[in-house]
Amino acid sequence: MTPGFDVPFLLGMMRLSDSPALSDPRILADWIEARLDEGLVWFDHADTYGDRRCEMLFGEALALRPALKPRIRVVTKAGVVLRSRDSSRFGVKHYDTSPAYLGKAIDASLSRLGVERLDHFLVQRPDPLMDVNATAHALDAAIAAGKVGAVGVSNFLPEQWRRLQQAMANPLAVHQLELSLAHPDSLFSGLYDAVLSDGHQPMAWSSLGGGSVFEDVLGTAIERIAKELQISHAGLALAWLRRLPGQPIPVIGTLKESRIRELAREGRVDLDRPTWFALLEEARSQRVT
């Protein structure tokens, strides 16, 4: 597994542009510094978040306080062209993993964030039109140029990432996939095992299922068990994820400081097997056979 991820979670920046308070670079710089002081050094971005505005806001804050730059670790993603960014007559959302597009996307993220290197750059979605050899060469070139520390993928299936890996000189290091109590399917389809087998560090996006883990029968079970363990509902859901082999790193979306501190305390709670499986049964609405 990729070293350097000894953290309870990554701080997802998807909602950064929706926070009026953090749109002030001075306030955002204070917020970033507070997270770093708490040992939370990994920030998850994508050029689609806020239609590039989230990276831009983050970069403006770092420009005001450049001493923070050596302390942060950045993950960002590209390869999805939003409808508003499509210049064709179709105005269609689509994927683009061509070398020209990815090269420009990497340079643009570096510029918006104001950093010299992206610690991890992920191809955000599998592209049916990907020229594997050309894309692999472009990703290897970004690593060789020092623009990217390591490359990974997001939302790929095994044969999709293995075709890319076969054409690359550098190993794919991380895989960001949807995984939570609300979406445990990858644990039974073989996808999660393939991620571990190929040596990728798993990252779990939508780690709280967009809040759906707290609804219906599953929500009732989480409420009961969280009360017994004296932790928050979200802390229990993250602890369930962290109990998995490979310790997938959740990506959390909250920007609320009190919530982040709470989850940092509780996300490492060690669940025993019966508790873990009791939650799984409720999540899948079926008994373990």
What CATH number does residue 148 fall under?
A: 3.20.20.100
Residue 2 has pLDDT above 50, yes or no: no
Where on the phi/psi map is residue 151: left (φ > 0), alpha (ψ -120 to 50), or beta?
A: beta
∠ CA 222-10-151, rounded to 5°: 130
Q: Check if 192 is active-site.
A: no
User: Is residue 19 a part of any domain in this protein?
Assistant: yes
User: Is residue 16 a part of any domain in this protein?
Assistant: yes
Length of the chain: 289
**What's the number of CA atoms in the CB half-sphere (13 Å) around residue 181?**
33
- Cα–Cα distance, 23 to 17 (Å, whole number): 7
Measured from the Cβ of residue 100, the count of other Cβ atoms closer than 10 Å reads 10
> What's the average model confidence in pLDDT over 55-78?
98
User: Is residue 183 a part of any domain in this protein?
Assistant: no
Query: Which residue is catalytic, options 49, 95, 101, 192?
Result: 49
Where on the phi/psi map is residue 286: left (φ > 0), alpha (ψ -120 to 50), or beta?
A: beta
Tell me the DSSP string of 123-179.
E-S--TT--HHHHHHHHHHHHHTTSEEEEEEES--HHHHHHHHHH-SSPEEEEEEE-
User: Is residue 217 a part of any domain in this protein?
Assistant: no
- Contact of 250 with 204, CB cutoff 8 Å: yes
| Structure confidence at residue 250 (pLDDT) | 95
| Structure confidence at residue 285 (pLDDT) | 80
Whole-structure pTM over 0.75, yes or no?
A: yes
User: Is residue 100 a part of any domain in this protein?
Assistant: yes
User: Is residue 105 a part of any domain in this protein?
Assistant: yes
Q: How confident is the model at residue 265 (pLDDT cuts 50, 70, 90)?
A: confident
Burial 112-121 (b: 16+ CB within 10 A, else e): bbbbeebbbb
Quick: pLDDT tens for 5-51.
788 999 999 999 999 999 999 999 999 999 999 999 999 999 999 99
User: Is residue 237 a part of any domain in this protein?
Assistant: no
Residue in the block written with tokens 């890319």:
164
Quick: pLDDT tens for 210-261.
877 777 778 888 899 999 999 999 999 999 999 999 999 999 999 999 999 9
Q: Residue 25: in which H helix or E strand, if any?
A: helix 25-37
Measured from the Cβ of residue 214, the count of other Cβ atoms closer than 10 Å reads 18
Quick: pLDDT tens for 96-148.
999 999 999 999 999 999 999 999 999 999 999 999 999 999 999 999 999 99
- The 3-class secondary structure across 231-252, one letter per residue, is CCHHHHHHHHHHCCCCCCEEEE
Instruction: Find the domain containing 129 and state its range.
Output: 10-178
Quick: pLDDT tens for 142-182.
999 999 999 999 999 999 999 999 999 999 999 999 999 98
Domain tally for the chain? Answer: 1
Phi/psi at 180 (nearest 5 deg)?
-170, 175
Distances (CA, A) of 277 to 66, 71, 236, 283: 46, 38, 13, 10
User: Is residue 233 a part of any domain in this protein?
Assistant: no
Quick: pLDDT tens for 189-213.
999 999 999 999 999 999 988 877 7
3-state secondary structure of 112: helix
Show contacts of 256-261: CB within 8 Å, 24+ apart. Answer: 257/31, 257/34, 259/234, 260/11, 260/35, 260/38, 260/40, 261/38
